[in-house]
Amino acid sequence: MPAEIESFASLRQPGWHQLGTVFSKPVTADELMELAHLSNWNVRLIEIEAPGFNMNGQKYYFIVRDNPLTKEVDILSTAGQRYEAFQNETLFYMGHDLQEAGLGRWETAGSLKGGRVVFGSLSVDREVVLDPSGANDVIKNYLLLAASHDGTLAITAANTPVRVVCSNTLNFALSGAKQKFSFRHTQTAESKAQYVAKAMKDARDYIDKFEAVANKLIGKKISDKVFNDILLAAYPKPAEKEEGKGNRAMTMWTKKFDVLNDLRTSPTNAMWDGAAWGALQVLTEDLDWFRTGRGDNAEENLSAARAGFDPAVNATRNKFLTIVTEVAGV
């Protein structure tokens, strides 16, 4: 397990992208937090008493937690006096309310970035099966709950479809449906009940919209030329340099196109070859599984991006959907 991935728990199968351990039975929110080492962090603020920090009457604080593995106190980040610390239990008890309302069941939970980000996922009770009598392409739907202890991420719930055959994450922003929504951790019981009802409706509306968009792309047949035009729109060909001077960009682009064309006829995508949906799956599978990570936390960063935590990667997925729709004339 990579060093930066502190904990990750999964139900019946490894976590979305091979990060986790396996449960043999359903779990409650409390059990899941315990198994994923997310309980009793006692996240709190400690005033920074150092020259240069508390100036002009403004106080600054360390955000700290009790590390459940090392039993030491970790500094997660710094914050101003308006920041309110919250406990992991707030996030997971909100998920518990959604579970109790019948949205789905707990499947994963964990922490990333040294504890600065915590998350859990509910497996939503409705799957989408595209072309059930033919390709039988199953899309599992999740509600990803996440929050940060460094102020970078609000307490958020995001509808996150995952294609079973290849574990592509398909969390597209779709017109007319809400893919992501946030809530405050200081809600009243009444506002929490309203949130649960709205989250249930938004999740089901999103799945309906996702299925409609997918079927529209499946029904749009494309030629080899249109497929190539889609790839060129996603990855424009770099300018050629003079002979003998070399062109690293051209070499990388050629390799990228080789991978994309191989994916077109791979076992995960061959059933959709000739359809706009197939072109989109080629692009998303490459994005999720054929990028190279860099740095000490490369594996965690890649896995987090696959799970929907990287805004830049999410934006790229949405760009791909726009390209396929426009170039194919959907």
* Tokens matching residue 79: 């914050």
Q: Where are the alpha helices (DSSP H) in 114-240?
A: 189-219, 224-234
Q: With a cut of 50, which residues of the chain have pLDDT below it?
A: 1-6, 10-22
pLDDT tens digits, one per residue of 285-313: 999 888 876 666 777 777 777 777 788 88
Q: Which two tokens stand for residue 122?
A: 């509910």
What DSSP character marks residue 238?
A: P
Q: What is the pTM of this model?
A: 0.84
pLDDT confidence of residue 324: 97
The four Cα atoms 5, 113, 87, 96 give a dihedral, to 10 degrees, of -50
Count other C-beta atoms under 10 Å from residue 265's C-beta. Answer: 11
The two three-digit tokens of residue 314, written as one number: 């999410």
User: Using an 8 Å Cβ cutoff, are 9 and 35 in contact?
Assistant: yes
The pLDDT value given to residue 55: 64
Q: How far is residue 135 from each of residues 66, 167, 168, 268, 274, measured CA to CA in Å? A: 49, 16, 16, 10, 13
- The pLDDT, as a whole number, for residue 2 is 41
How confident is the model at residue 289, as a pLDDT? 86
Contact in structure between 286 and 257 (CB atoms under 8 Å): no
First to last CA, the chain: 43
What per-residue confidence (pLDDT) applies to 190?
A: 64
pLDDT at 13: 43
**What is the distance of C-alpha 257 from the center of its chain?**
25
**Is residue 81 classed as helix, strand or coil in its secondary structure?**
coil
Q: For 150-189, how does the pLDDT look when each residue is reduced to its tens digit (9 = 90+)? A: 888 888 888 888 888 777 788 888 887 888 887 766 556 6
